[in-house]
Amino acid sequence: MYALPFLDLPPLNGASGTVRLPGSKSISNRVLLLAGLAAGTTAVHDLLDSDDTQVMLQALATLGCAQRWEGTGRQRVLHLTGLGGQLAVHEADLFLGNAGTAMRPLAAALAVLAATQGGNFMLHGVPRMHERPIGDLVDALRPLGCTVQDLGTPGYPPLRLHGQAGGTLATETPIRVRGDVSSQFLTALLLALPLVSAARDIVIEVEGELISQPYISITLNLLARFGIAVQQQGWQRFVIPQGSAYRTPGSVHVEGDASSASYFVALGAIAAKGGAPLRIEGVGSDSIQGDIRFVDAAVAMGAQVKSGPGWLEVHRGRWPLAGLQLDCKHIPDAAMTLAVMALYADSPTHLSGIASWRVKETDRIAAMATELRKLGAEVVEGPDFIEVQPLPAAQWRPAAIHTYDDHRMAMCLSLAALNPLAADNTAGPGVPLRILDPRCVGKTFPDYFEAFFHVTTAHPAQVPVICIDGPTASGKGTLAAAVADALGYHLLDSGALYRATGLASQWDGVAPDDEAGLARLAGLLDLRFGHGPEGSRAWLRGREVSSELRTEAAGLLASRISGLAGVRAALQDLQLAFRRAPGLVADGRDMGTVIFPTAPLKVYLTASAATRAERRHKQLISKGIPASIVDLRADLEARDARDQNRAVAPLKPAEDAYLLDNSNLSVDESVQQVLSWWQARRPF
Ligand code: DC
């Protein structure tokens, strides 16, 4: 996940491959609450690991639900032991971030439990959470006999819920709740009221038109799996039968998030134009989530979609896309994706029935209109609609997109990076895009951008490269890694390729002057890079060689064989292949002069031989390797001379390189200097 203040996306021109979706947020948090209220232990598979589920898990832990994890990565299974309807902890302060799916149902469940078993619970979140309404739920709970105290603005969190043990609730008359602001209020009551259904049937009546009905279907479906068979009379009246009690089903699988699928369905519709489709795994034709119906809307705009249980495959169909007029009440979250697809259409798109956007993570209608306009689009917004005009290829502008701490804004707007495709006939190079605070995707899809770049392609010339060349021990590696980290870019340590070729030659007994033999080894180099807690790691032919590559001997051998034209040529394609979206920071000797001559930023890093010898000395001593500064300096100077005087690709600054002498700079000062040169070249 990118822990960055911004992420720049280069113009992208295609999509194919496979995305595996993270678990559904709506299903995950409902399952967690149900498992937390039920008796016994539930094994939860494919649970979404995100900000919103973290706050729910934390709250349940505070309330005394035991949690145990088994396995690793996507195979992790949570074993959650529930309370069996009995409070174990009667007083708690629960921070719920910006998770509506935690705030609303926990408020209802804890209000009911406090009122009957005694308790005192404080529920609060981030400032935006305190602007998201909960009054309709509170208005349903108070007549029941729950004590709900507004601690801030009435009708909004924070809330205090309290009550005495032995209290009773007025469940003999129907409980009325408004359904036209958020369906989460009804969901919250449906999840909570089985707790007090021992004596009689409990009737819930919805006032006003119920929005987001598909989310109520998810709630009912999951309640059924936990042993509660709610009787439904249309969308107006729901009956929880007397004696209902949560029973763990033993194990539950969370399906992939259908709202998250919408970005990739849209991506396929816009950019999967070759032979291979974009395949989405985790949701499919058997989904219980309402947002799966986004697929119908995407098809109406031109997508070609095939589906089966747990999968979707998407191709571009009609192009440009067709504008759409749609009442989006049934797909409120995924509908945001349509607003960005609208840019790629050939007629206007009018999305109505989206008043609920205004009370989500941010005012999504205003946010969407503002950000689409930054790209150059014409947008009209109303209280409950948005209308977006197509954006012809020539009119796209580079823009820094605000995301308003709203994961969906970040994910939707990333689709604007496909702008080179906006109209195929006039397609130009396209414009880049900046997504501010990209880590907000952590709410539902922490590795969204990794997945997005994994299935998109860019023209290599459009992928920015920052070259950092310089002599040995100048600090290139440290600087390059820090710059790559700050920008979320890939990293190419080209010296490691020469070092690995040298190592392979020793393993295979190829002589250091056998140019043809070394070139063959270099061409077949099976070298992989990865990240560990101690920095970058490398594997040659499957064997870890991280420290072997860094030895002085490996550096000397590399310096020697790197003078051979055949070796340099054999490593060229491998180096070029590192130029992938979102960008690359490449360090070496000839990054700016030979490998990436058109790179938009080239830095030539130097430091005096004395400074470099001192740094290398410190490094070696800290590893417990004895060394003499005098010898090190002589070695460095000999290596400089060889690298600078060889016939092929000698070490020298590119003509357009910035010179940076870091003898008297800290690493951080050097990084800031390079980042400020880079920022000056960006159009944002
Ligand atoms: O950067 P380094 O110390 O890992 O590089 C080891 C040797 O590889 C260096 O002495 C010269 C050679 N090299 C090169 O010729 N071209 C590059 N782009 C990188 C390294």
DSSP assignment of 558-575, as one string? HHHHTT-HHHHHHHHHHH
Note the pLDDT tens digit of each residue in 47-67: 999 999 999 999 999 999 999
Give the residue, 499 or 425, on which the prediction is more confident. 499
Q: What is the per-residue pLDDT for 624?
A: 87
Q: What is the per-residue pLDDT for 554?
A: 94
- Between CA 108 and CA 188 the distance in angstroms is 6
Q: Examine the pLDDT at 472 and tell me if it is beyond 90.
A: no
Output the ligand 1 site: residues, CB below 6 A.
472, 494-495, 498-499, 555, 558-559, 562, 588-590, 639, 643
**Pocket perturbation via mutation, ligand 1, pick of 491, 559, 575, 645 by most ligand atoms within 8 A of CB:** 559
Model pTM?
A: 0.89
- Which CATH superfamily groups domain 25-253? Enolpyruvate transferase domain (3.65.10.10)
Q: What is the per-residue pLDDT for 181?
A: 83
Q: Whose CA is nearest to atom 15 of ligand 1?
A: 562
Locate 174 and state its tokens.
């129907």
Q: What is the per-residue pLDDT for 639?
A: 86
- Between CA 534 and CA 294 the distance in angstroms is 43
- Between CA 321 and CA 305 the distance in angstroms is 14
Is-contact 177 207, C-beta < 8 A? Answer: yes
Is-contact 11 458, C-beta < 8 A? Answer: yes
Asked if 485 is an active-site residue, the reply is: no
Any idea what DSSP says for residue 315? E
Average pLDDT over residues 329-340: 95
Is-contact 658 677, C-beta < 8 A? Answer: yes
Note the pLDDT tens digit of each residue in 339-376: 999 999 999 999 999 999 998 889 999 999 999 999 99
Note the pLDDT tens digit of each residue in 562-582: 999 999 999 999 999 999 999
Confidence of residue 233 (pLDDT cuts 50, 70, 90): very high
Same CATH fold assignment for domains 463-489+582-633+649-684 and 494-578: yes
Q: Which atom of ligand 1 is nearest to the CA of 642?
A: 10
Q: What is the per-residue pLDDT for 322?
A: 98
Sheet of 379-381: strand order equals: 325-327, 349-352, 385-388, 379-381
Q: Examine the pLDDT at 1 and tell me if it is beyond 60.
A: no
CATH of domain 6-21+256-457: 3.65.10.10
Max distance between CA atoms of the chain, in angstroms, equals: 93
Confidence of residue 625 (pLDDT cuts 50, 70, 90): confident
Average pLDDT over residues 425-438: 86
Q: What is the per-residue pLDDT for 426?
A: 58
Q: Where are the domains of the chain?
A: 6-21+256-457, 25-253, 463-489+582-633+649-684, 494-578
Average pLDDT over residues 90-113: 97
Average pLDDT over residues 497-504: 97
Note the pLDDT tens digit of each residue in 627-668: 899 999 998 999 889 888 988 888 999 999 999 999 999 999
What HEC string does 455-469 produce? CEECCHHHCCEEEEE
CA dihedral 148, 151, 156, 160 (to 10 degrees): -30
DSSP assignment of 68-80, as one string? EEESSGGG-EEEE
DSSP assignment of 50-117, as one string? SHHHHHHHHHHHHTT--EEEESSGGG-EEEEE--TTS-S-SEEEEE-TT-HHHHHHHHHHHHHHHHHH
d(CA 525, ligand 1 centre) in Å: 16
- Which CATH superfamily groups domain 463-489+582-633+649-684? P-loop containing nucleotide triphosphate hydrolases (3.40.50.300)
To the nearest whole number, what is the mean pLDDT of the chain?
A: 94
d(CA 495, ligand 1 centre) in Å: 4
**Pocket perturbation via mutation, ligand 1, pick of 467, 505, 549, 562 by most ligand atoms within 8 A of CB:** 562
Q: Which of 257, 333, 493, 640 is catalytic?
A: 333
Q: Whose CA is nearest to atom 9 of ligand 1?
A: 559
**Pocket perturbation via mutation, ligand 1, pick of 549, 589, 639 by most ligand atoms within 8 A of CB:** 589
CATH 3.40.50.300 fits 494-578, yes or no: yes
